[in-house]
Structure 1
Amino acid sequence: MSAARNAREGAEAVEDAAQDVTEHPAFQAVARGGFVMSGIVHALIGAIALRMAFGGSSENADQSGALQAVAAAPGGNILLWIGGIAMAALVLWHLAEAWFGARASSREVKKRVWHVARTLGKAVVYAALAVTSLRFAAGAGSDSGEQTSSMTAGLMGSAGGRLAVVAVGLVVLVIGFAHVYLGASRRFEDQLRVPRGKEVARAIVVTGVLGYIAKGIALVGVGLLFGWAGLGADPEKATGLDGALKTMADLPAGSVVLAVIGAGLVLFGLYSVLRSRYAPM
C-alpha cells in the first residue's frame, strides 16, 4: 500500500509541477510566440499564393516554401530557431490543456471528449510546424510536397494502404469544412478574450472570418487530392497544400480563386498574430 501511495503522490507532484510550469507567465509568453510564428507562416503562404495567381512565383505555396522564404531573409535562421522553440512550447501547453481538460469533472463527457480531441489536434499541427521550422533552422529542410508524395507512394502497395490515404483525405476534408464553419459562424470568437468596444475586436472578426474560410477551402482541396490519389492509386496527386493550390489555379477562373484564397491566408496570418494576444491561457 505504501508503494502504491508513494507512486500516486509522485504522479500528483509531477502533475502539479507541470501545471505550475504551463501556468507560469514566462512560459505562456513563449507559447504565445508560437501563434505569431504560425501567423508568419500562413501570411507567407498566402503571399506566395497571390504571386502564383498572377504568374509571378515558382515557390512552393506551403510550409516549406514559407519557411524557405524566412530562412533566406536577413536574420531568418534566428527567427526559425525562435519560432520553432515557441511553437514547441505551444505544443506542450496544448498537451497540458488536453490532459487537465480530460480530468476536469465540471464538463459533460461529450464536451470533455470534444475539447480533448480538438486540443490534441492543435498540438499535432503545431508540433509538425515546430519540427519543420527547427529542421529548416538546422539546414535540413526539404520539400513537404515531395515528402507527402513519397510517404503516400509507400502506402499504395496494398488495398489497406490506399484506404488509409483515402481516410486521411476524408479527415482533412472534415477539418477543412470545420474551418469554413468556424469562420462563417464566427465560433472562433469563443476561443478568445477580446475587450468589447475596441477596434481590435473588429479586426479580429474580419481577419478570423475571411481567414478561416480561406484556409478551410484550401484544406478541402488538399483532402480531395488525397482522396483522388488513394482511389486512383496515384501518389503524385497527394502533394499537400502546394499541389492543391496549383490544381485550383488550373481551373476556370482559377487565378481569381487562388488570389482570393491567398488574400484569405494572409488575413488568417494576421488573425493568428492577434490571437497571440487574446487567446486565453
Structure 2
Amino acid sequence: MSVAARSGFAARGLIYVLVGVIALQIAFGGAGGGHQADRGGALDELAGKPFGSAMLWIVGIGLAGMALWRLSEAVFGGAGPDGSKLSRRAAALFRFVFYCFVSYSVLAYAAGDRGSGSGSSDRHTDDVTARVLDWPGGQWLVGAAGVGVVIAGVWMAVRAVLKKFREDLRIGAMSARTRRVVDFLGVTGGAARGVVFAAAGVFALVAAVRHQPGEARGMDDTLRGFRDLPAGPWLLALVALGLAAFGLFSWCVARWRKL
C-alpha cells in the first residue's frame, strides 16, 4: 500500500506540472502547444515526449495504485488518530471511485484509445451540464453542484494557507530548509488549486442562473478565463505556476506522507 500510494502521488504530481506548463504557455499568448490545460492536455503532452508511451503506462499504473490505497483507507482506516472516522472513510471511498475513473482513462489512452483520457474537460462539462439542465429541477441541481465546488475550492485554499497538510506529513524527517520548501509549495500550490476549483464553481452557478450550459467551464476554459481579466496574462501565469507548484508538492507528499 505504501508503494501504491507514493506512486499515485508521484503520478498526480506529473500531471499537475504538465498542466501548469501548458497554462503558462497560454498566459503569454501561446496556444499551449495546441494542448488543453487539463488532464487530457497533459496526457497529449506526455505522449509526444521520448518514451511517452511508457510514461503513460507508468502514470496510469501509479494512479491505479492511488485508487487501491484509497480503497484500503476506506476499508481499514487511514493513518493518524482520526483515520478510522466514518467521514474519513467516506472521503477515501469517494477518492477511490475518482481515481478508478482517472486511472482507467489514462490506461485506456496508453492502450491506444485516444478518445479516452485526452477528451476536453470543457466539452465534457458542457455535455453533462446540458443534460442535467434538461432534468426537472436541473437548474437547482447545477446550482447546488456549483456551490459545492466553490465551497470545496475555498476549503482547499484555506487548508493550504493554514498549512493543514503538515498533519499528514512526516515533518520531523525533514531538514529545516526542506520544511520551508515544502511549506512554500504546499501553500502556493494548494491555494492555486483551490482558486481554480472555486472559479469553476462560479461558472457552474452562472450556467444554472442563465440556464446556459455553455457558461459552465472545465479546467482549460476556467484557466483561460483568468487571461480575460485585467492583468489577466500575469494572473494566469501566477495560477499556472501555482498548479506546477502543487505538482512539485505532490512529489514531496510521495516522499514524506504518513501511511
Q: TM-score, normalising length from structure 1? A: 0.83
| CA deviation string 1:62-97 (max 9, x = no partner) | 111111101111211211112111211211111211
AA aligned opposite 1:223: G
8 Å CA contact 1:68–1:136 kept in 2: the answer is no
In 2, distance between residues paired with 1:258 and 1:148? 21
The aligned runs of 1:181-192 (5 Å cut-off) are 181-192=158-169
AA aligned opposite 1:166: G
Corresponding residue of 1:126:
99
In 2, distance between residues paired with 1:178 and 1:229? 22
Give the deviation of 1:202 after TM superposition. Answer: 1.8
In 2, distance between residues paired with 1:181 and 1:120? 23
Corresponding residue of 2:142:
165
In 2, distance between residues paired with 1:75 and 1:163? 46
1:244 aligns with 2:222: yes
Corresponding residue of 1:78:
54
Choose 29-38 or 115-124, whichever is displaced more: 115-124
Give the deviation of 1:171 after TM superposition. Answer: 1.8
Which residue of 48, 52, 64 maps to 2:22? Answer: 48
| CA deviation string 1:219-253 (max 9, x = no partner) | 11111111111221211122311111111211111
Corresponding residue of 1:225:
203
AA aligned opposite 1:49: A
1:177 aligns with 2:154: yes
Corresponding residue of 2:13:
39
Which residue of 209, 230, 241 maps to 1:263? Answer: 241
Which residue of 76, 84, 90 maps to 2:66? Answer: 90
Structure 2 unaligned blocks of 5 or more: none
Give the deviation of 1:56 after TM superposition. Answer: 1.1
1:30 aligns with 2:4: yes
Larger Rg over CA atoms: 1
Corresponding residue of 1:11:
none
AA aligned opposite 1:89: G
In 1, distance between residues paired with 2:99 and 2:245? 19
Residues 51/29 of structure 1: CA separation in 2 closer, same or farther (3 Å cut): same
In 2, distance between residues paired with 1:181 and 1:193? 21
Corresponding residue of 1:146:
123
In 1, distance between residues paired with 2:121 and 2:249? 24
Give the deviation of 1:218 after TM superposition. Answer: 0.7
| CA deviation string 1:141-171 (max 9, x = no partner) | 3222212211221112134222222222122
Give the deviation of 1:31 after TM superposition. Answer: 3.0
In 1, distance between residues paired with 2:184 and 2:95? 22
AA aligned opposite 1:266: A
Corresponding residue of 1:156:
133
Structure 1 unaligned blocks of 5 or more: 1-21, 23-27
Residues 118/239 of structure 1: CA separation in 2 closer, same or farther (3 Å cut): same
Residues 107/79 of structure 1: CA separation in 2 closer, same or farther (3 Å cut): closer
Structure with a larger share of its residues in helix: 1
Corresponding residue of 1:3:
none
In 2, distance between residues paired with 1:228 and 1:250? 17
In 2, distance between residues paired with 1:135 and 1:236? 28
CA root-mean-square deviation: 2.1
Corresponding residue of 2:188:
210
AA aligned opposite 2:175: G
In 2, distance between residues paired with 1:94 and 1:165? 28
AA aligned opposite 2:48: A
